Amino acid sequence: MQKKILNIIGAGRVGKTLGRLWHEAGVFNVCGILNNSLNSASEAADFIGAGRAVTSMKDLPPADIFQITMPDDDIENITHALLQSEILREGNIVFHCSGALPSAVFGVLQEKNVFVASIHPVKSFADSMQTIESFSGTWCGVEGDKSALEILRPAFEKLGAKLFSINIENKTLYHTGSVFACNYIPALIEAGLSCFEKAGINRNQASEILKPIIEETVENIFKSSPKDALTGPISRGDMKVVKRQQEALDQWDRDYAELYKILGKRTVALADNG
Ligand SMILES: NC(=O)c1ccc[n+]([C@@H]2O[C@H](COP(=O)([O-])OP(=O)(O)OC[C@H]3O[C@@H](n4cnc5c(N)ncnc54)[C@H](OP(=O)(O)O)[C@@H]3O)[C@@H](O)[C@H]2O)c1
């Protein structure tokens, strides 16, 4: 069967990484690559090893599939631009990779009998080369039109993705789960490092000191459960220690004091009930 033609609108970290994976696995024929700047679109085309860089939607070639991998805040605008453009044809598939937005953001395109979907890789695309190597095995949350998913599911599976369905109504909470469990870890560790610094231990040494217990804790969470991985004053019931720490933070930094209080409350609940 002839390979389907795919245009990429937004070939940044996710866009160009998927583009190269499609190209290398021979899944789709990557054709148009639209970015804000020609320079970055050309760089993306070089990275992918296929495709023609453009900076205007009218210069995109006709395609079967449109991969919209721009920042979330711009996806709604591009939807209207796509609707007004002459580029979409009946039966086309338009999908994005956002965990924060539903495929319904493309709802207006369904007027043109276009099928829409969202495939959200639960992965950090910080380093494109590294992501190419490690993409296989990535969990991807999937929702959208049946006709779009009939094409996109097997395509992502060819890249080694492990797909799971998301209920579109609960998508915001689903994505919040990743934000809590992943994005907030750096912020929490930063809070820990700041306390060490305030106590007179420099950041580099603080980082070395904390690394083993952070790693052990993460390992224990996945070996058993968050409750079983819990150690420290709250899990021992040393509430006088907790009170003194709260007071020290109250006197030093209002945000950290607030954070400590709320997390402490949830940690007590975790220690009690799991
Ligand atoms: N990064 C992650 O780890 C990750 C993980 C899972 C899902 N996602 C999702 O993947 C999507 C893309 O994220 P990203 O991190 O890859 O973003 P990114 O690295 O910031 O790349 C965005 C790309 O979109 C292009 N762009 C912006 N506005 C445009 C416009 N009006 N027309 C055409 N192109 C435009 C930019 O072009 P220029 O380079 O010319 O500015 C840039 O190449 C988002 O929906 C995000 O939620 C991201």
How many whole angstroms separate alpha carbon 236 and alpha carbon 5?
60
Average pLDDT value for residue range 144-162: 98
Does position 42 have pLDDT exceeding 70, yes or no? yes
**Ligand 1 neighbour 225 (Cβ under 6 A):** no
This model's pTM is above 0.85: yes
Mean pLDDT score across all residues of the chain = 96
- 124 CB within 6 A, ligand 1: yes
Q: What is the pLDDT of residue 111?
A: 85
pLDDT in tens, 260-272: 999 999 999 999 9
Domain range list for the chain: 4-166, 173-273
Q: At the top level of CATH, which class does the domain 173-273 belong to?
A: mainly alpha
Residue 121: CB within 6 Å of ligand 1?
yes
**Which residue minimizes the CA distance to atom 25 of ligand 1?**
10
Check if 253 has its Cβ closer than 6 Å to any atom of ligand 1. no
Cβ of 85 closer than 6 Å to ligand 1, yes or no, is no
- Split at pLDDT 50, 70, 90, the class of 273 is confident
Q: Residues 100-125: pLDDT tens digits?
A: 999 999 999 988 899 999 999 999 89
Percent of the chain with pLDDT over 70: 100
Closest Cα to atom 18 of ligand 1:
12
- What atom of ligand 1 comes closest to residue 39's alpha carbon? 40
- pLDDT band for position 274 (50/70/90)? low
pLDDT score for 185: 95
Nearest Cα to 26, choosing from 44, 48, 42? 48
pLDDT value of residue 165: 97
Q: pLDDT tens digit string along 154-210?
A: 999 999 999 999 999 999 999 999 999 999 999 999 999 999 999 999 999 999 999
The answer on pLDDT for 50 being more than 60 is: yes
Residue 86: pLDDT band by 50, 70, 90 thresholds? confident
Q: How far is the CA of 12 from the centre of ligand 1 (A)?
A: 5
Report CA(2)–ligand 1 centroid distance (Å): 29
Write out the CATH class of domain 4-166. alpha beta
Question: For residue 72, what pLDDT is reported?
Answer: 95
Q: In ligand 1, which atom is closest to the CA atom of 37?
A: 40
**Residue 89 pLDDT greater than 90, yes or no:** yes
The pLDDT, as a whole number, for residue 28 is 98
141 lines ligand 1 (CB under 6 A): no
* pLDDT, position 1: 72
